Amino acid sequence: MTEASDEIPTADPALEDLLLFIRDSRGFDFTGYKRTSLTRRIRKRMHEVQVSDYLDYRDLLESNADEFRDLFNTILINVTSFFRDVDAWQYLQREVLPEVIANTESDDEIRIWSAGCSSGEEAYSLAIAFAEVLGIDDCVKRVKLYGTDVDEEALREARSGLYSAKALSPLSSELRDRYFEQNGDRFIFRSDLRRRVIFGRHDITRDAPISRLDLLVCRNTLMYFNAEAQSQILDRFRFALRNGGFLFLGKAELLLSDGEQFSVANMRQRIFRRQAGDAKPVHQAAAPRLDVNLGAEVHGLVKRRQLSELALDTAPFGVLCLDAEGRVSILNNQVRNQFALTSHDVGRPLSELEISYRPVELRSLIEQAKAERRNIRVSSAERKVGPDEIQYFEVHVQPLWAGDGSDVGVVINFVDTTMPTRLSLEVKVKREELETAYEELQSTNEELETTNEELQSSIEELETTNEELQSTNEELEATNEELQSGNEELETMNEEMRIRTDELDETRTFLEGVLSSVAACVVVLDGQLRVRSWNRGAEDMWGLRSEEVQQQVFFALDFGLPTQLLHESIQRCLKTAHRDGPLEIAAINRIGRSITCAVTCSPLDGNREGVVLLVEEVPGESGAVSGN
């Protein structure tokens, strides 16, 4: 995985102490989590309990053990679903699972691990996928599936195998009916496959991994850890998988620096394969693409180097070059012919070759030349090539130094002085030309090294930028997970509010129906003596519609009932919260007929913040007024 760019350079000591306290007291090790995401989640929980300081929050954890559960539920964002990212699951089922099955013998067990399985949807998705490919009967016989997580509460839900219809919505009705049975208003995973799924608590940062796996699924979990923790987890994952086993990651996770452990099976779907063998192969970085000017420059340097090498190879005297470790680096044509050397000797230590001591002891001369940092010349070195034939050489040992003064190697020239004098002059000229060509070669080599360093620096900068972008992508994905979790909570609250609103609407409709069905006049007043309810009996008796009197002050209404006569009775009812009356009052109904009304004041459900007035016409009475 890439190195997380969201790490805070100077860690908050109070936060680190809190993480160590959580680890030591409850066994949850969050020290490997990315600090940005972790800080945001912990701060969210602290805001909910109205604590602003880490030390105060630690005190709360020590005094309230239940707070640990709420904190863990906040940090461990259990956002999951059946066949999440359906394209990736379709590729897994279509391309990967048949290969996993083909790579195991018919009587061998197929072992799968869902790491960070949360509430179990991912583990059961794997069971369904294998059952669809193998058939349910063979899946029950051959497949063994492990689902692990650090959240015990999520694991309890996973072990139950019970899910709501909403949770199963990603499944087609056919798959739901085949793998789930209805249990009340929920659905339970079929029992024969359920026995092949084993759930348990496991911390991928600390606990030993499950071994001999054919497939390991860990989706949208690694992105919460920092680079060091990711590297340790991937080492465990590689150990857990068999050679050629598959690793299935989430859409926000990449293995940019673990090519020596995992090869890419499908980068788009984040599916990787464990590399075979214990030794890690040397990572070959892709050659960077050069721009036009830089490419032309390198091409010119290569041509000049090729020309120098050809000139060196055609020189009339032998040239032997050694690198800084004393291994043969260059043998020109003359030295190969003179001393029976071949191109296979390039790369061998000088000490293994006869030329190291014949015609002269070269090793001591090389040490002297390097120690004194000067050229060493030996004249008339003899080499016997036959009973009556002796060759004479003039040997030049020249140490080579880089621009920074470091040892690069040494070049040794063997000039055959047994040739005629006339040719010796030609050889001298050629030698001078060769020395010039060699100097150009050295300069070219230095230019190539500088260019290579610049290219390497550019590659490192690009890799760093790519890793920073990947880390940002992981952080955005983590934020998206948090938003999705919050959205699900809001949906749940909205559903509860809708149910509560429906209940209130039903209750209001019921009460309005009851009031409307009462033939007598019923008027409900609030604590400010404003009209809250005016039933149909009141409309029929006084001729005022309900919408005309709503929220109007009762004593300000102008109708046939002298309301001021009720003021004392209503105040007593509000004060004592007991029924008052009936009080008989002369009134005039909506058709102008004089009537006598019996008015009873009752407290509103025992509450002093309102009264209910029941007004009934007294039969056979004229408009006389009487008290209690």
Q: Is the pLDDT of residue 434 over 60?
A: yes
Task: Give 351's DSSP letter.
Answer: G
C-alpha pair distances (Å), 386 with each of 8, 356, 383, 391: 77, 20, 9, 9
Q: CA dihedral defined by 44, 45, 47, 50, rounded to 10 degrees?
A: 180
Q: How many whole angstroms separate alpha carbon 511 and alpha carbon 193?
A: 53
Burial of 55 per CB tally in 10 Å (0-12, 13-18, 19+):
exposed
C-alpha pair distances (Å), 491 with each of 119, 395, 483, 487, 488: 19, 90, 12, 6, 5
Q: How many whole angstroms separate alpha carbon 212 and alpha carbon 241?
A: 6
pLDDT of the residue at 381: 87
Note whether 275 and 261 are within 8 A (CB): yes
Condensed to tens digits (0 to 9), the pLDDT of residues 183-216 reads 989 999 999 999 999 999 888 888 888 999 999 9
289 vs 392, residue with greater confidence: 392
Q: What integer is the mean pLDDT of 398-418? A: 84
Note whether 542 and 524 are within 8 A (CB): no
pLDDT of the residue at 112: 95
Range scoring the smallest mean pLDDT among 155-159, 172-176, 547-551: 547-551
**Residue 618 backbone phi and psi in degrees, to 5:** -85, 115
Instruction: Collect all residues with Cβ–Cβ distance below 8 Å to 548 and sequence separation of at least 6.
Output: none
Alpha carbon 367 to chain centroid, angstroms: 57
Q: CA dihedral defined by 482, 483, 484, 490, rounded to 10 degrees?
A: 120
pLDDT of the residue at 286: 34
Range scoring the smallest mean pLDDT among 59-63, 181-185, 499-503, 506-510: 506-510
Grade residue 260 by pLDDT with cuts at 50, 70 and 90: low
Q: What integer is the mean pLDDT of 310-334? A: 84
Note whether 481 and 76 are within 8 A (CB): no
Q: At 475, which amino acid appears?
A: E
HEC-encoded secondary structure of 385-405: CCCCCEEEEEEEEEEEECCCC
Which CATH superfamily is 86-274 part of?
Vaccinia Virus protein VP39 (3.40.50.150)
Which CATH superfamily is 514-617 part of?
PAS domain (3.30.450.20)
Range scoring the smallest mean pLDDT among 40-54, 180-194, 303-317, 377-391: 303-317
pLDDT of the residue at 373: 85
pLDDT of the residue at 294: 37
Note whether 441 and 312 are within 8 A (CB): yes
Q: Is 181 helix (H, G, I), strand (E, B) or coil?
A: strand
pLDDT of the residue at 162: 93
**Residue 156 backbone phi and psi in degrees, to 5:** -60, -40
**Residue 108 backbone phi and psi in degrees, to 5:** -90, 150
pLDDT of the residue at 2: 37
Give ranges for CATH 3.30.450.20 in the chain: 313-452, 514-617
* Total number of residues shown for the chain: 628
Note whether 224 and 33 are within 8 A (CB): yes
pLDDT of the residue at 268: 86
Percent of the chain with pLDDT over 70: 85
pLDDT of the residue at 172: 92
**Residue 410 backbone phi and psi in degrees, to 5:** -150, 145
Angle (CA) 92-94-99 rounded to 5° is 80
Q: What integer is the mean pLDDT of 222-235? A: 82
> In what order do the strands lie in the sheet containing 531-534?
531-534, 521-526, 607-617, 594-604, 580-588
In sequence order, the β-bridge partners of residue 245 are: none
Q: Is the pLDDT of residue 282 over 70?
A: no
Q: Is the pLDDT of residue 59 over 90?
A: no
Q: How many whole angstroms separate alpha carbon 423 and alpha carbon 429?
A: 10
327 vs 473, residue with greater confidence: 327
Percent of the chain with pLDDT over 90: 20
Q: Is the pLDDT of residue 8 over 60?
A: no
Find which of 75-79, 112-116, 465-469 is predicted with most confidence, using mean pLDDT: 112-116
Q: What integer is the mean pLDDT of 487-491? A: 85
- Pairing between β-strand 110-115 and β-strand 213-218 as defined by DSSP bridges: parallel
pLDDT of the residue at 291: 36
pLDDT of the residue at 300: 57
| Residue of 2, 385, 40, 106 whose CA lies nearest to 15 | 40
C-alpha pair distances (Å), 521 with each of 186, 534, 594: 49, 8, 16
pLDDT of the residue at 78: 66
Burial of 32 per CB tally in 10 Å (0-12, 13-18, 19+):
buried
Note whether 331 and 341 are within 8 A (CB): yes
Q: What integer is the mean pLDDT of 389-394? A: 85
Give ranges for CATH 1.10.155 in the chain: 13-75
pLDDT of the residue at 317: 86
Cα R_g (the chain), whole angstroms: 46
pLDDT of the residue at 227: 79
pLDDT of the residue at 306: 62
Q: How many whole angstroms separate alpha carbon 23 and alpha carbon 28?
A: 5
Note whether 133 and 101 are within 8 A (CB): yes
Q: Give the E-state strand segments of 50-156 in sequence order.
A: 110-115, 143-149
Q: Is the pLDDT of residue 161 over 80?
A: yes
Q: CA dihedral defined by 38, 39, 45, 46, rounded to 10 degrees?
A: 150
**Structure-token match 């694991």, residue found:** 155
Task: Give 96's DSSP letter.
Answer: I
**Structure-token match 């959205």, residue found:** 487
Grade residue 82 by pLDDT with cuts at 50, 70 and 90: very high
pLDDT of the residue at 3: 38
pLDDT of the residue at 620: 67
Q: Is the pLDDT of residue 140 over 90?
A: yes
Q: Is the pLDDT of residue 419 over 80?
A: no
Task: Give 287's DSSP letter.
Answer: P
Grade residue 428 by pLDDT with cuts at 50, 70 and 90: low
Q: Report pTM.
A: 0.49
Q: Is the pLDDT of residue 628 over 50?
A: no
pLDDT of the residue at 517: 67
Q: How many whole angstroms separate alpha carbon 121 and alpha carbon 155?
A: 11
| Residue of 204, 215, 271 whose CA lies nearest to 241 | 215
pLDDT of the residue at 174: 93
Q: How many whole angstroms separate alpha carbon 222 and alpha carbon 234?
A: 9
HSE of 228, CA atoms in CB hemisphere, 13 A: 8
Q: Please, what sign has the CA dihedral across residues 386, 390, 391, 397?
A: positive
C-alpha pair distances (Å), 578 with each of 527, 564, 582, 601, 604: 15, 20, 12, 8, 10
Q: How many whole angstroms separate alpha carbon 311 and alpha carbon 300?
A: 17
Grade residue 114 by pLDDT with cuts at 50, 70 and 90: very high
Q: Is the pLDDT of residue 626 over 70?
A: no
How close are the terminal C-alpha atoms of the chain, in Å?
88
pLDDT of the residue at 305: 59
Grade residue 436 by pLDDT with cuts at 50, 70 and 90: confident
Condensed to tens digits (0 to 9), the pLDDT of residues 515-564 reads 766 768 888 888 888 888 888 888 888 888 888 888 888 888 888 888 88
Range scoring the smallest mean pLDDT among 130-134, 263-267, 430-434, 494-498: 430-434
Q: What integer is the mean pLDDT of 569-587? A: 85
Q: What is the fold of 13-75?
A: Chemotaxis Receptor Methyltransferase Cher; domain 1 (1.10.155)
pLDDT of the residue at 100: 93
Q: What integer is the mean pLDDT of 434-439? A: 83
Q: How many whole angstroms separate alpha carbon 469 and alpha carbon 461?
A: 12
pLDDT of the residue at 372: 86
460 vs 18, residue with greater confidence: 18
Element (H, E) at 535: none
Q: What is the fold of 313-452?
A: Beta-Lactamase (3.30.450)
Give ranges for CATH 3.40.50.150 in the chain: 86-274
Alpha helices (H) in 195-291, listed in sequence order: 227-240
Grade residue 354 by pLDDT with cuts at 50, 70 and 90: confident
pLDDT of the residue at 424: 52
Find which of 144-148, 229-233, 459-463 is predicted with most confidence, using mean pLDDT: 144-148
Burial of 445 per CB tally in 10 Å (0-12, 13-18, 19+):
middle
Q: Is the pLDDT of residue 623 over 50?
A: no
Alpha helices (H) in 246-320, listed in sequence order: 292-313
